[in-house]
Structures are given as C-alpha cells and as structure tokens.
Homo-oligomer: A and B are copies of this chain.
Amino acid sequence: MTALPVTPIAYVRGGRSSPEDDNWGGERAAIELEDFLPPEALAGLDAFSHAEIIFQFHLVPDAKIETGARRPRGNPDWPMVGIFAQRGKNRPNRIGVTVCRIISVTGRRIEVEGLDAIDGTPVLDIKPVMAEFLPRGEIRQPDWSSELMKEYW
C-alpha cells in the first residue's frame, strides 16, 4: 500500500461540534482556506450556487473503520451492504463528499449552508458544482437508502 499524503487546504469553522445523523439541511458554517493559499484561489466561486466539499471525517478512530459489509446505521431492517455501497463515515480513508449551498465568499472564507461536517473538519478540496457533472441518465437506488435519507437534510 502506497500512502498518498494529502494536506488540509481549509478547515470547517462553526456549525455543529459533534456529528449527528440527521437534519443537516439548514446548518450554516464557514470554510476557511489555510494561509498558504491566497484568496485568489476562491476567485469566481461566488458565480456558482453550490460547491462540492471533499473533507475528512477526522474523528473516526482506526478501530471503527469498516472494510467489508455492514447494515447502514446498524439498522436491522436494512440489508448488509458493502462500505462502498453506502456513504457512512466509518470508511477507508474517511473521505466525505457533500454538495452545499454557497452563501458568500469573502477573502479566504466561504459561508455555506447544508454541509454535514462538524467544526474543525479538515477540507481536502473544494469544487464548483456544474450541472454537467451531475449523474447522466436516470438514477436508481435501493429503498433502504431513500429511507435513510428521509430526515437527513
């Protein structure tokens, strides 16, 4: 296994201080670029309505990482599914990817709404959402995933 070192380019500031499963939709937080990056790195981001935030679930301990299959949220009503067929945080590399709404961009700071990451979360990348990068063709997903997402936002 080759380690690929990645470096936080920003941190989440504000919002929730501990992870909870649901009701993230109205949550506001800021993303603050690290000092080694100039404010120009965010130039033009405010022309987009949404950004995709790639971050690390930094509080997940090694012992909790799932490498095989498990029931999402441990719910006995849901099937055993592989960790790469669900989006839970206890996953190899602990990477989270979430689309949130951009409220404002000022200097090195982005105000966002609907980011399911807690205060202090390291951010690995920020990408603008382009409609052309959304799924092409019809989306199909199993029932358990729609049930799980019912109260998420």
Q: How many copies does the complex hold?
A: 2
Set of chain B residues within 8 Å of A69, measured between Cβ atoms: 40-41, 43-44
Quote the shortest CB–CB distance from A64 to chain B (angstroms): 15
**Which of B8, B48, B149 has a CB less than 8 Å from the CB of A85?**
B48
**Interface size (A, Cβ < 8 Å)?**
75
In A113-150, which residues have CB < 8 Å from any B CB? Answer: 114, 122, 124-142, 145-146, 149
Query: What B residues does A79 contact at CB under 8 A?
Result: 44
A67 touches B37 (CB 8 A): yes
Q: A19 contacts the other chain (Cβ, under 8 Å)?
A: no
Q: Nearest Cβ in chain B — how far from A114, in angstroms? A: 6
